[in-house]
Amino acid sequence: MTTTQPQKPQKDNSVTAIELIIDCVSERILDKESAIRQVIAALLAGGHVLLEDRPGLGKTTLAASVAQVFGLDYNRIQLTSDMMPSDVLGVSIYHPEKQAFSYHKGPIFTQFLLADELNRATPKTQSALLEAMAENQVSMDGKTYPMDEVFFVMATQNPIDDSGTYSLPHSQLDRFLISLSLGYPSEAGERKIYSSTYLQSMKQPLPALSNAEQLLSWQQAVTRVHAAEEVLDYLQWLITQSRKHPHIQQGLSPRAGLGLFRMAQSQAFMAGRDFITPDDVTMSFYPVCRHRLLTDDGRLADEYIEEMLDSANLV
Amino acid sequence: MASQLSTKQVFWIVLAVVVAVLPQLYRLPLWFAPMMTVVIAYRFYVQVKHIKKAYNIILMMVAIAALLLIVYSQGFGLSREISVTILITMTVLKLLETYRQRDALLVVMLCYFVAMTRFLYSQDLVLVMYLLLSAWVTTHALAVINYQHGSAWFEKKQLKASIGWLAMALPFAVLFFLAFPRLGSPIWGSPDIFGEGKTGISDEMSPGSIIELFMDDSPAFRVTFGSNNKPENNQLYWRGPVLSEFDGRTWTRHEFRRSRGQVAYDRQAAIIEYGIEMEPNGRHYMFGLDVVLNAPQGSLMSPTSTLFSMNKVNQLKHYRLSSAVTDRLYQRLPQYQRKWLLDFPEGLNLQTQIMIKQWQATDDSAYGMINKALNWFRTEDYLYSYSPPALHSNEVIDEFLYESRRGFCEHFASTFVVMMRMAGLPARVVTGYQGGVDMGDYVLVKQSDAHAWAEVYIDQPDHELGGYWQRVDPTSVVSPERLFRGSGNIIEQRRSFFDFPWLRQTREHLDRYRFRWNQWVRDFNVSKQQALFDAIGIQHRDGKVLAVILLSVLAASGALIFSWLWWRQRPRYNNLQQWYLRFMDLFKKEPAIYARQSAGMEAVTHSIVEQYPGLKKSVNDFQQCYLRIRYRNEQLTPADRRRLQHFFERLKKDVKKRYHSQSRS
């Protein structure tokens, strides 16, 4: 897969601002610029992110950093197997003096939610969380409580073969726009972690370089990015390939297709363009497919995704 | 993972096999039909029930068992029969392991072969039409294997494909037919293994032997006369074997080996020329009118004036004859032959003998005798009938003359000859055909025109040969119509269940096409081929020229088809894609970059910049301009083109410069 070819920054200062944000987060999460770009692209596209990795690779740091630089309210839930849906969504409590129930909002009411170790929670709790994610609101006792306009969930998950986990069903995985795996940093990058300046800087929060309002306007702008027929043909072709592939259990859903489209728009926006190029689609295809496509023997379909991209003809 | 064949595909493959094998079923061993039924039933059972298919080792054993059966029933050797039987058997057995497209294609190819082997036995028009049908079924199976779409039994697309393919093959078939080098004699044409067509006049005549031929409306031979010299139908006596030995029941041939039969004819007799196209009969006999003046090459004239072919007539045979049309055949009759020809069973048929004696008392002359006998047949109550009562007694002549009184040519001829012999006149039975159907430009003689008549020797001392054979046809006295209207048309009763006048007429009508077919196709031999190619100015005396012509036409049409296919599937690029290709052309000499063409502009520029950082600016400028035009504007305005051209020229210069500097360093 080709990486982003940094476009010449245009007069539009949003590109500069976003580049600055990426640089800033990159100082915290060393050597992972492309992953950071994907997370931010998902945020701009208004989707949620699933981070899948072993512990200690900086998932939480990444989430906290992104929340800080965007200046968003940040909550973190550590999911465990004894957690109830109310621990996430909130509870109604009876007040004898008022003779009425009042609703206490749970940790989900925030702008940036880090749901750590999602697959440790029981399916009941998982589904409560994912439902709220999908509908952008919580229904409790016949009333609906809307979320903030900016609502971004970053869930982390231990690799699926870990013990004591409840793996998420396919239908719920589909609610995440993209999924990523950070992986180990390079040796040089890892060496920097031990430097004193880095450890010092870790203690200070990152500056808020943006705010919820600006994020919303960016999200609006992303939806306006132009897509040529030819690019849509390519996108459609990729989706069809995933459905026709003999070794893939289940092809991409229309929701996944829409996700791929939004991600491509977002990538184009970040590159300072107001139109999608095929490369935007190519770049977004892997993170969009990664958690959605499984081989017929249950493995990740990485090699087949690569194969589909390679067989495209983009003359 | 090749997919399994669908039930519809299996059905068509099986149908193709059955249709191809069917016309050979009659000559395959008895166990063949049940075996084929079992194989097909098993194959469908596996298909429908999805049971596990048989192990290879079992299939191998079945194949070996079938081979042994073939050897057991047809012997061991490399004859045509065995080769064809093995081919057919293995094709049918192949169905047992046909589960995938690859095997299915093989079976289909084998079906074409199986169908073709039928031509080794016959090339009749009806058969050709059947085999065309077989070719279509096989081709349709091919289409069904290749285009599996729906489950309907007839899909438009598949139907179109199979008919289209056959239509495309047609010109090639014609070309091959005309230009394929002909062999002098067929490779497989060894006469002793000929299996069909053993009908027609035989060596013997006993009560009821000719009646079998009456039932058979298949053609015996066709005659083309020159312009306007066709004799009247009652003059057409196609002479075949002459039978002179009688054991009281059966007439057999007796050749007087020592006689050198010099034959003469009346000076007044008309001489006519005609050509004969004879259907194979598996025997040596050939047929001609009365006194044949020239024995064609490869044939002999027997002393009894019968034409014999040196080889059995196993293929369509053409020959030209000239004959004197006469009922008198002058020939010397040696004394020892005379004795033979007067022989009749002693002490039998006394009633007839007494009657002959009485006749002799009044008029002893030969013609007087003949006329008395004919008169007897005419005035007494005799009937021409195809279903005469069977004659059981030893005294066949008496029984026929005084009791049954009903019969057809063989009864009358046989009885007449015996009567003449009793009267002391040498006489013999001549078999052959009489008459024929006038088809306009030729005369069709059918097996049912088989006939038997008599010849009586009349002494004529003043002639140099001492006498002549006088043809006498007693049947003509009983049923004069027989000679004018042909055997099939004079009897009210039907000869068999399927004997209808309209059917007979249709068959006669069809023979017209068969005649043309024989003329143009079956008989297209080396000399006709040479004549054809001489006519269009290509001289050839051996097959090499033809082979070269064939190969070059094949190569040319192959090239034409492939270039057409290529042209039809060529990639078509719009203006913007052309620009991309021009851009790629700049890097033609960089295989690593050029190979990535299909990955798209962005991937390519990325690897260019990676490899040649010096080109970064000009490449990126061009790329950005291009991407915006292609994916934002989606069309190429003149202004855009100018800008693109500008960036392109710059990039081109930079690329050239780089090569320049590279080559200098």
Over residues B601-659, the pLDDT tens digits come to 899 999 899 888 888 899 999 999 999 999 988 888 889 899 999 999 999 998 888 77
Quote the pLDDT of residue B541. Answer: 65
Query: What percent of chain B has a predicted confidence (pLDDT) above 90?
Result: 23
Alpha-carbon span B427 to B340, nearest angstrom = 10
Taking residues A305-310, report their average pLDDT: 90
Secondary structure element (H or E) that encloses residue B130, with its range:
helix B125-146
**Which residues of A fall within a CB distance of 8 Å from B628?**
273, 275
- The average pLDDT across A89-93 equals 87
**Weakest mean pLDDT among A214-223, A292-301, B480-489:** B480-489
Which of B514, B490, B364 is CA-nearest to residue B435? B490
Q: What is the pLDDT of residue A92?
A: 84
- Determine how many CB atoms are found less than 10 A away from the CB of residue A193: 13
Higher pLDDT, A276 or B258: A276
- Same topology for domains A13-222 and A224-315, yes or no? no
Amino acid symbol at B483:
L
- Nearest residue of A to residue B600, measured between CA atoms: A314
In A, minimum Cα distance to B621 occurs at: A8
- Residues of chain B with pLDDT > 70, as a percent, come to 90
Q: Scan for tokens 């184009």, then name that residue.
A: A268
SS3 B482: helix
Q: Shortest CB distance from A230 goes to which of B1, B571, B631?
A: B631
Is the pLDDT assigned to residue A249 strictly greater than 60?
yes
Task: Please answer yes or no on whether B598 and A229 come within 8 Å at the CB atom.
Answer: no
β partners of residue B317: B278
Average pLDDT over residues B311-322: 84
Q: What is the pLDDT of residue B21?
A: 95
- CA angle (A268 as vertex; A266, A272 as ends), nearest 5: 115
CATH code that applies to domain A224-315: 1.10.8.80
CA distance, residue A309 to nearest chain B CA (Å):
9
What are A's interface residues with B at a Cβ cutoff of 8 A? 2-3, 5, 7-8, 226, 228-231, 246, 273-279, 282, 310, 312-315
What's residue B191's pLDDT? 38
How far apart CA B214 and CA A111 sit, in angstroms, is 107
pLDDT of residue A263: 96
Q: Do A274 and B632 touch (CB under 8 A)?
A: yes
DSSP assignment of B558-579 equals HHHHHHHHHHHH-----HHHHH
Give whichever of A68-72, B292-296, B343-347, B518-522 has the largest mean pLDDT.
A68-72
Structure confidence at residue B151 (pLDDT): 67
Q: Which residue has the higher pLDDT, B661 or B8?
A: B8
Contact A228 B632 (CB under 8 A): yes
Per-residue pLDDT, B441: 84
Residues in chain B: 665
Q: Is the pLDDT of residue B302 over 90?
A: no
The rounded distance, in Å, linking the Cα atoms of B268 and B255 is 29
> Is B185 a residue whose pLDDT tops 60?
no
| Residue that wins the pLDDT comparison between A288 and B403 | A288
For A154, the token pair is 């970053």
Identify residue B456 by its one-letter amino acid code.
Answer: V
Do B606 and A229 lie within an 8 Å CB cutoff?
no
Burial class (CB in 10 A: 0-12, 13-18, 19+), B66: buried
Q: Residue B609: its chain A contacts at CB < 8 A? A: 5
Q: Stretch B44-73: mean pLDDT, rounded?
A: 88
Candidates B598, B605, B624; nearest CB to A315: B598
Average pLDDT, chain A: 87
Nearest C-alpha of chain B: how many angstroms from A109? 39
pLDDT for B122 equals 76
| Residue appearing with tokens 């979320």 | A147
In this structure, are residues B319 and B286 in contact, taking their beta carbons and an 8 Å threshold?
yes
How many residue contacts between A and B have a Cβ separation below 8 Å?
Answer: 64
pLDDT of residue B255: 67
- Residues of B within 8 A of A8 (CB-CB) are 620, 624
pLDDT over 60 (residue B490): no
Tell me B599's DSSP state.
Answer: G
Q: Does residue A2 surpass a pLDDT of 50? A: no
pLDDT at A264 exceeding the cut of 80: yes
Q: Average pLDDT in the A193-211 region?
A: 86
C-beta atoms of B602 and A275 within 8 A:
no
Contacts with A315 from chain B: Cβ below 8 Å: 571, 573, 577, 580-581, 597-598, 600
Chain A residues with CB-CB distance to B571 below 8 A:
315
pLDDT at A4: 43
Check whether B192 has a pLDDT greater than 50: no
pLDDT the model gives residue B43: 92
Residue A6 has pLDDT above 80, yes or no: no
- Residues on chain A touching B597 (C-beta within 8 angstroms): 315
Q: Which residue of B has its CA nearest to A274?
A: B632
CA distance B391 to B400: 7
DSSP secondary structure, chain A, as one string = -PPP-PPPP-S-HHHHHHHHHHHHHHHHSTT-HHHHHHHHHHHHTT--EEEE--TTSSHHHHHHHHHHHTT--EEEEE--TT--HHHHHEEEEEETTTTEEEEEE-TT-SSEEEEETGGGS-HHHHHHHHHHHHHTEEEETTEEEE--SS-EEEEEE--TT-TT--PPPHHHHTTSSEEE---PPPHHHHHHHTSHHHHHHHHSPPP----HHHHHHHHHHHHT-B--HHHHHHHHHHHHHHHH-TTBSS---HHHHHHHHHHHHHHHHHTT-SB--HHHHHHHHHHHHTTT-BBTTSSB-HHHHHHHHHT----
The winner for highest mean pLDDT among A265-274, A305-314, B153-162 is: A265-274
Rounded mean pLDDT of chain B? Answer: 84
Which amino acid, A160? I
Residue B491 pLDDT class (50, 70, 90 cuts): low
- To the nearest 10 degrees (0 to 180), the angle between helices A33-44 and A254-270 is 110
Show the tokens assigned to A143: 């009333």
pLDDT tens for each residue of A18-57 = 999 999 998 888 888 899 999 999 999 999 999 988 888 8
pLDDT above 90: residue B440: no
**Of all residues in chain A, what percent carry a pLDDT higher than 90?**
41
pLDDT at B134: 96
Regarding predicted confidence, which is higher, B212 or B172?
B172
**CA angle, B531 as apex, B528 and B537 as ends, to 5°?**
150
- Going by pLDDT thresholds of 50, 70 and 90, the confidence category of residue B489 is low
- Tell me which chain A residues have a C-beta less than 8 angstroms from the C-beta of B634: 228-230
Contact B598 A5 (CB under 8 A): no
pLDDT at B590 over 60: yes
Q: Domains of chain A: which residue ranges? A: 13-222, 224-315
Among B598, B602, B634, whose Cβ lies nearest the Cβ of A5? B602
Flag if A8 and B620 touch (Cβ within 8 Å): yes
Q: Provide, as residue numbers in chain A, all residues whose Cβ is less than 8 Å from the Cβ of B572.
A: none
A225: left (phi over 0), alpha (psi -120 to 50) or beta: beta
* pLDDT tens-digit map of B235-263: 889 998 888 888 888 888 876 665 556 78
- Which residue of B571, B603, B632 is in closest CB contact with A2? B603
Q: Are A259 and A242 in contact (CB under 8 A)?
A: no
CATH fit for domain A13-222, picks 2.30.40.10, 3.40.50.300, 3.30.70.20, 3.40.190.10:
3.40.50.300
What average pLDDT does range B125-142 have in this prediction? 92
Whole-model pTM? 0.56
Q: What is the pLDDT of residue B258?
A: 56
The distance from CA A13 to its chain's CA centroid, rounded to whole angstroms, is 24
Residue bearing the bigger pLDDT, B613 or B503? B613
Distance, in angstroms, between A278 CA and closest chain B CA?
A: 8
Q: A303: distance to nearest CA of chain B, Å?
A: 17
Contacting residues of B for A275, CB less than 8 Å apart: 627-628, 631-632
Residue B383's pLDDT is: 82
